[in-house]
Amino acid sequence: MAQILAPSPQWQMRIPKCSVDASPLTSKMWSPLVLKQNSSKGAVKTSAKFRVFALQSDGSTINRVEQLLNLDVTPYTDKIIAEYIWIGGSGTDVRSKSRTISKPVEHPSELPKWNYDGSSTGQAPGEDSEVILYPQAIFKDPFRGGNNILVICDTYTPAGEPIPTNKRHKAAQIFSDPKVVSEVPWFGIEQEYTLLQKDVNWPLGWPVGGYPGPQGPYYCGAGADKSFGRDISDAHYKACLYAGINISGTNGEVMPGQWEFQVGPSVGIEAGDHIWCARYLLERITEQAGVVLSLDPKPIEGDWNGAGCHTNYSTKSMREDGGFEKIKKAILNLSLRHKEHISAYGEGNERRLTGKHETASINTFSWGVANRGCSIRVGRDTEKNGKGYLEDRRPASNMDPYVVTGLLAETTILWEPTLEAEALAAQKLALKKGCDQTKTNSKAMASGVGKSAAFTLLILNCFLYFVVAALSGWAVNHGITKARETASQLTIPAHIFPIYFPVGNMATGFLIIFSLIAGVVGFVSSISSMLNVIQWNLPNLHSAAATSMITWLLTLLAMGVACKEIRLGRTESNLRTLETMLIILSGTQMFTTGAIHAGIEDLIAREEIIRGRL
Ligand code: ADP
Ligand code: MN
Ligand code: MN
Ligand code: MN
């Protein structure tokens, strides 16, 4: 237990090269080097504070291994040690190996790719075992100090394909989607873990083969009979701060021997990188302490709390005024994809999410303000301020933060509910809450097709209105050219435009004017409505509904004149096309207007679902 280190921040300073013998293997080195440096430069003096305590070896009075572990090599070489870290075949094991880099680095792009034997980590077949490591994030190494670094990597085949256990790749894709980038997703992850006594695999502080007193006094407790493993939690806290991990706190948990640390708020992919690095540090510290780290979601059966990885989440619009509405919309989406999320939230989570011990049942989705028995909890402050964040309480302690953060962003920013998902929600509701809610839901379902229908109709209308505008534009042009010569033979007022028109019959002049207006307005309004429909929210749909209603009325007017023209008869083919188009358009534009109104009802119904059900 004695090997935990407490590096001083000064250790990070670069020290100018000394002129003394640079070879590390001189007799000088075996003298108390750290003490010797104390008497020279000030910067070097501070390095004596960085101490790693090695195990006492048999028959030695001065522990020379300890001196070497604390050796500051910066005065002698520019070279640094980079510990390449990656996730192994189980998806939860962290592996690492080290290599020398010629000089200190500040960005992962300065580091070379590397490889390892994937057949030894369950990640590649023996005959083609090479897996390639791509450096993705760097942290300062609290174990080696100096300019030495930890490197979080992800894993690829030699051909450059991410291997199946590389969950970072997909997450990075999601987090680089412009829509996700613009929402600046924040994550605060509460990593719970259990410390076990080595060899017996029984929680730290528990009598071997027996149980401590029931839960109650342990959560955030102090005292030798209530808190077990504080040194580890604290050493880890400092190691994280030193490394540059965005750790935000720690606490003792409800089950004795169980602890939690929080990382965040971190933006996007960073959340996953930081949690994985923090887990690695914890593995190294528990290794030194001779304690076993367990991320099992329910390490002890019975009346003992499990271990989770609550994920606090917000987007830019949730943090802004009116954000609570966005949070509720996100919760609706999360409820509709409950199954997908649960299957990605960690192995063995069904043993933890029982509906007891501050968890919700794994089979049902629920949410509530300040309620720890729900799948999603919203804090009192968030409700009061009308903006803030939500806490997804479902992830297990062994979840992959790349998977969980990526999925949260996907479901709440990129994903739109499908008809099937809504139907499912409606069914469940019918079972749970009776007819009132079901009605709302079936209404939402029926108009669920609204978006794609409205969009398709708008594309069609856009084309038809364009043709109408072009034809009537041609007719106007024709009329202007022909009017002078033909009208000169007529008596006043017969040639006064538009009653008289050089083609068609006496209704043609009116038709051309009305259809030109309907065509131009229809074309422009179809395009603007398409943009509105893509957004599919209430303000946009209201404006689309207004424009399409006006367009429809203009189309009806033109269609009315077209009918009159048809009744008068004797028109040429261009005009007949125009008439036909107007008649078709007065129908399709009506459907478009209908679909947009249905969309508005749909959205209102969804809000009712959120209010009534969630
Ligand atoms: P709990 O009350 O559930 O125990 P904790 O205090 O342990 O919560 O953890 C909350 C986490 O949420 C912290 O890591 C914190 O930084 C993070 N957090 C705070 N505000 C936000 C936010 N707006 N979006 C995402 N995470 C946040
Ligand atoms: Mn917490
Ligand atoms: Mn907790
Ligand atoms: Mn929590």
For the chain, domain boundaries: 439-613
pLDDT at residue number 333: 94
Question: Can you list the pairs that 171-174 forms with residues at least 24 positions away whose Cβ atoms lie under 8 Å?
Answer: 171/269, 171/272, 171/402, 171/403, 171/405, 171/406, 172/269, 174/406, 174/409, 174/410, 174/414
pLDDT tier for residue 602 given thresholds of 50, 70 and 90: confident
Measured in Å, residue 208 CA sits from the centre of ligand 4 at: 30
User: With a 6 A CB cut-off, is 253 part of the ligand 1 pocket?
Assistant: no
pLDDT at residue number 611: 54
Return the minimum-mean-pLDDT range out of 284-288, 440-444, 497-501: 440-444
From atom 8 of ligand 1, which residue's Cα is the shortest distance away?
A: 190
From atom 26 of ligand 1, which residue's Cα is the shortest distance away?
A: 188
Mean pLDDT of 472-483: 82
pLDDT at residue number 286: 98
User: With a 6 A CB cut-off, is 525 part of the ligand 1 pocket?
Assistant: no
**Closest atom of ligand 1 to CA, residue 251:** 7
Measured in Å, residue 541 CA sits from the centre of ligand 4 at: 38
Return the minimum-mean-pLDDT range out of 42-56, 337-351, 501-515, 558-572: 42-56
User: With a 6 A CB cut-off, is 135 part of the ligand 1 pocket?
Assistant: no
pLDDT at residue number 308: 97
**Closest atom of ligand 1 to CA, residue 189:** 14
From residue 529, alpha-carbon distances to 141, 521, 533, 536 in Å are 56, 12, 6, 10
User: With a 6 A CB cut-off, is 262 part of the ligand 1 pocket?
Assistant: yes
Q: Is the pLDDT at 269 greater than 90, yes or no?
A: yes
User: pLDDT for 127-182, tens place per residue?
Assistant: 888 999 999 999 999 999 999 999 999 999 999 999 999 999 999 999 999 999 99
User: pLDDT for 449-461, tens place per residue?
Assistant: 678 888 899 999 9
From residue 263, alpha-carbon distances to 103, 192, 281, 318, 614 in Å are 30, 11, 13, 20, 28
From atom 14 of ligand 1, which residue's Cα is the shortest distance away?
A: 188
Higher pLDDT, 442 or 300: 300
Mean pLDDT of 578-601: 90
pLDDT tier for residue 477 given thresholds of 50, 70 and 90: confident
pLDDT at residue number 12: 37
Mean pLDDT of 506-518: 88
Q: Is 601 left (phi over 0), alpha (psi -120 to 50) or beta?
A: alpha
Return the minimum-mean-pLDDT range out of 272-286, 339-353, 408-422, 497-511: 497-511
Q: Is the pLDDT at 497 greater than 70, yes or no?
A: no
User: With a 6 A CB cut-off, is 250 part of the ligand 1 pocket?
Assistant: no
Task: Spell out which residues have Cβ within 5 A of ligand 3, the ion.
Answer: 260
Measured in Å, residue 355 CA sits from the centre of ligand 4 at: 16
Q: Which ligand is nearest to the CA of 258?
A: 3
From atom 12 of ligand 1, which residue's Cα is the shortest distance away?
A: 188
Percent residues over pLDDT 70 in the chain? 80
User: With a 6 A CB cut-off, is 514 part of the ligand 1 pocket?
Assistant: no
User: pLDDT for 303-335, tens place per residue?
Assistant: 999 999 999 999 999 999 999 999 999 999 999
**Closest atom of ligand 1 to CA, residue 393:** 3
Measured in Å, residue 253 CA sits from the centre of ligand 2 at: 9
**Averaged confidence pLDDT in the chain:** 85
Return the minimum-mean-pLDDT range out of 19-23, 167-171, 445-449: 19-23
Q: Is the pLDDT at 1 greater than 50, yes or no?
A: no
Q: Is the pLDDT at 45 greater than 60, yes or no?
A: no
| Token code pair at residue 184 | 């600046």
| Token code pair at residue 246 | 């965005």
Measured in Å, residue 275 CA sits from the centre of ligand 1 at: 14
pLDDT at residue number 346: 97
Higher pLDDT, 425 or 557: 557
pLDDT tier for residue 474 given thresholds of 50, 70 and 90: confident
User: With a 6 A CB cut-off, is 246 part of the ligand 1 pocket?
Assistant: no
Q: Which of 189, 220, 233, 262 to mutate to test the pocket of ligand 1 (most atoms within 8 A of CB)?
A: 262
**Closest atom of ligand 1 to CA, residue 379:** 2
Rounded Cα–Cα distance for residues 267 and 338 (Å): 24
Q: Give 497-557 as a 3 state SS string.
A: CCCCCCCCCCCHHHHHHHHHHHHHHHHHHHHHHHHHHHHCCHHHHHHHHHHHHHHHHHHHH
pLDDT at residue number 506: 80
User: With a 6 A CB cut-off, is 274 part of the ligand 1 pocket?
Assistant: no
Q: Given the structure tokens 């019975």, which residue do they identify?
A: 302
From atom 13 of ligand 1, which residue's Cα is the shortest distance away?
A: 188
Higher pLDDT, 14 or 588: 588
Measured in Å, residue 386 CA sits from the centre of ligand 4 at: 20
DSSP assignment string, 317-346 = HHHSTTHHHHHHHHHHHHHHTHHHHHHTS-
User: pLDDT for 55-114, tens place per residue?
Assistant: 665 555 557 788 888 899 999 999 999 999 999 999 999 999 999 999 999 999 999 999
User: pLDDT for 198-224, tens place per residue?
Assistant: 999 999 999 999 999 999 999 999 999
From atom 15 of ligand 1, which residue's Cα is the shortest distance away?
A: 188
Return the minimum-mean-pLDDT range out of 205-219, 409-423, 483-497: 483-497
User: With a 6 A CB cut-off, is 391 part of the ligand 1 pocket?
Assistant: yes
The answer to whether the CB of 498 falls within 8 A of the CB of 509 is: yes
Q: Which ligand is nearest to the CA of 262?
A: 1
pLDDT tier for residue 604 given thresholds of 50, 70 and 90: confident
Q: Which ligand is nearest to the CA of 259?
A: 3
| Token code pair at residue 418 | 């499908």
**Closest atom of ligand 1 to CA, residue 263:** 14
pLDDT tier for residue 116 given thresholds of 50, 70 and 90: very high
User: With a 6 A CB cut-off, is 183 part of the ligand 1 pocket?
Assistant: no
